[in-house]
Amino acid sequence: MKLVLQGNDERYIVEQSLLNLFPGQLPVYEPITPEDDTWAVVSVQEEPSQCHVTVELSFEGKSAPHSLSAPLTGTDFEREGQRRHAIARCFFLAARAVTGVTPPWGMLTGVRPDKPVTWALEEGKTPDEARELLEQEYFVTPERAALAVETGTAAVKAAAGLGKRDIAVYVGIPFCPTRCAYCSFVSQSVEKSFSLVEPYVDALIAEIRAGGEMVRRQGLRVRAFYMGGGTPTTLTADQMDRVLTAFEESFDRSACDEITVEAGRPDTITAEKLSVLKSHRVDRLSVNPQTMEDHVLRAIGRRHTAEELRESMALVNSFGFAHVNMDLIAGLPEDTPEGFRRSLDACIAFGTDNITVHTLSLKKGSRILLEGLKVPSPEDVAAMLDYAGPTLRAAGFAPYYLYRQKYMSGSFENIGWSRSGAECLYNIYIMSELCSILSFGAGGSTKMVEPGTNHIQRAFNLKYPKEYTERPEKCLDNQAAFAAFYESLKGAL
């Protein structure tokens, strides 16, 4: 779609709206010609106390202009948010008039669609008022609005237990046995990069120890630890022991409410590794089959079978971890609504108290797109999700966090479900941006959250394991930025 911006340069919000409302359309910034039938002109006129937005939009020859005015008040940061909201709202209304379609999440385009609910509840609004806000202000469907109220309520509850100097720690292990067809993360297949693992572990331990010293100097308190990937259990038992020992020796764990490790691939789970995790008081384990259908496992590049997953889960359960999570993806290549139902039923039968239901995201760089693998239709994905919600609720689960990604099939969402009292705090902290996250490892994204505000800063580690091991000073730069951020807040904390 050709886009012309007049009186503004809000490319990001317009492109996000385009992606949400016209899947498959890419932004093109070129003059509109009489022959063009798909285009949009977004015009903004701004006054000291309000802005006027007009969107003229044509899609495949059908056009529908829309205009609105919105007040501008408060700080520059607040005014910027108000202006962007007005543009997004105007674009949405014009697009809906042309297509007749309202996406499940309405005009919301961000990763965290329940954030408006969290803000509303923190301001003292009732859950019903927060739900009405989503439906009327953002055009979210009643079903999705009710879902957001549940997860937003969980976020407010988690936030109440956090102090201003509380943080969470993430450790990334960017290695997997093989690369899944849906994956675009910066992870390395161990069979192709085995020689990188040991120097990576050495560099990671050094970074963790330096970060622990910095956190102590700043007087910060760790409330949750999460080791993710990739697949952390790709490491040997000794390597995992060394990494977890470095964390224990470098950070005060007295206030750390949970320690989570992803054991995402059952073909990496052994009794020796589970013994190491138990010895370090890991209380949450995540085993992520994504599907229990053997032909789907083969289609996505997994080398294990559903039966091997059952054996791994029996082993995990024998160790008595306090909480176990399992991940499923709705919309995988070769899957069907019936196959997804069997997978979900199997995960519930394992007795896990956390189940995360993802919707397939068609990511650039994934084999699904590069090789053109056949995936279920949006209607089939909807049928999968329509089964998941009522089935999980009937089994005693409730949604406690959610997020969205770009290019998601059917424009749906990822939802974390848990039994009462089994919620993973780290997942809530990071998805609702409730506290700072100090990240270690290649591809790590450190997030610095100013308490009581929407102000967030980020610092990124080097992406690839090889360059991460060769340039450790970059990690120290990120830690210096983290320390400077808290130094700047000393008067407010």
Q: Cβ(443)–Cβ(200) under 8 Å?
A: no
- The percentage of the chain sitting over the pLDDT mark of 90, rounded to a whole number, equals 78
> Is pLDDT above 80 for 69?
yes
> Is pLDDT above 70 for 410?
no
Instruction: Give the sign of the dihedral formed by CA 335, CA 337, CA 338, CA 341.
Output: positive
pLDDT in tens, 288-341: 999 999 999 999 888 889 999 999 999 999 999 999 999 999 999 999 999 999
Residues 6+ apart with CB under 8 A from 251: 169, 212, 215, 222, 225
Q: Cβ(263)–Cβ(279) under 8 Å?
A: no
pLDDT (0 to 100) of residue 362: 73
Residue where the block lists tokens 């909807």:
382
What is the rounded CA–CA span in Å between residue 193 and residue 284? 28
Cα 489 from chain centroid? Answer: 27
Mean pLDDT of 374-382: 89
Of 66, 62, 85, 60, residue with least CA distance to 74: 85
| Cα separation of the two ends of the chain | 47
pLDDT in tens, 210-259: 999 999 999 999 999 999 988 999 999 999 999 999 999 999 999 999 99
Q: Cβ(215)–Cβ(436) under 8 Å?
A: no
**Which of residues 475 and 58 earns the better pLDDT score?**
58
Torsion, Cα 461 462 464 470, to 10 degrees, reads -110
pLDDT in tens, 469-480: 999 888 888 899
pLDDT (0 to 100) of residue 194: 73
For residue 91, give the amino acid letter. Answer: F
> 250: alpha, beta or left, given left = phi > 0 and alpha = psi -120 to 50?
alpha
3-state secondary structure of 110: coil
What is the rounded CA–CA span in Å between residue 432 and residue 361? 20
pLDDT (0 to 100) of residue 370: 64
What separation in angstroms does the CA of 34 have from each of 38, 55, 450? Answer: 11, 18, 49
What is the rounded CA–CA span in Å between residue 344 and residue 326? 10
pLDDT-based confidence at residue 391 (cuts at 50, 70, 90): very high
DSSP-derived letter for residue 346 is: H
> Is pLDDT above 90 for 468?
yes
> What φ, ψ does residue 292 adopt, rounded to 5°?
-110, 15
pLDDT (0 to 100) of residue 191: 52
pLDDT (0 to 100) of residue 181: 67
Q: Cβ(411)–Cβ(419) under 8 Å?
A: no
What is the rounded CA–CA span in Å between residue 419 and residue 458? 32
Q: Cβ(196)–Cβ(188) under 8 Å?
A: yes
> Is pLDDT above 80 for 193?
no
> Is pLDDT above 60 for 61?
yes
Instruction: Give the sign of the dihedral formed by CA 397, CA 402, CA 405, CA 410.
Output: positive
Angle, helix 190-218 to helix 472-488, in steps of 10 degrees:
30
> Is pLDDT above 60 for 189?
no
> Is pLDDT above 80 for 385?
yes
Of 72, 79, 82, 87, residue with least CA distance to 40: 87
- Which H helix or E strand runs over 356? strand 354-359
pLDDT (0 to 100) of residue 363: 64
> Is pLDDT above 70 for 96?
yes
pTM for the whole structure: 0.90
Structure tokens at 168: 């969470």
Residue where the block lists tokens 């990001």:
12
Least reliable range by pLDDT among 139-148, 213-222, 406-415: 406-415
**Which of residues 362 and 125 earns the better pLDDT score?**
125
Q: Cβ(224)–Cβ(212) under 8 Å?
A: no
What is the rounded CA–CA span in Å between residue 222 and residue 254? 8
What is the rounded CA–CA span in Å between residue 58 and residue 40? 6
Please give the radius of gyration of the chain, using alpha carbons only, rounded to the nearest integer.
23
Residues in the chain: 493
Mean pLDDT of 48-55: 96
What is the rounded CA–CA span in Å between residue 249 and residue 37? 63
For residue 132, give the amino acid letter. Answer: E
DSSP-derived letter for residue 24 is: T
What separation in angstroms does the CA of 208 have from each of 281, 398, 478? Answer: 18, 35, 12
Structure tokens at 143: 């079903």
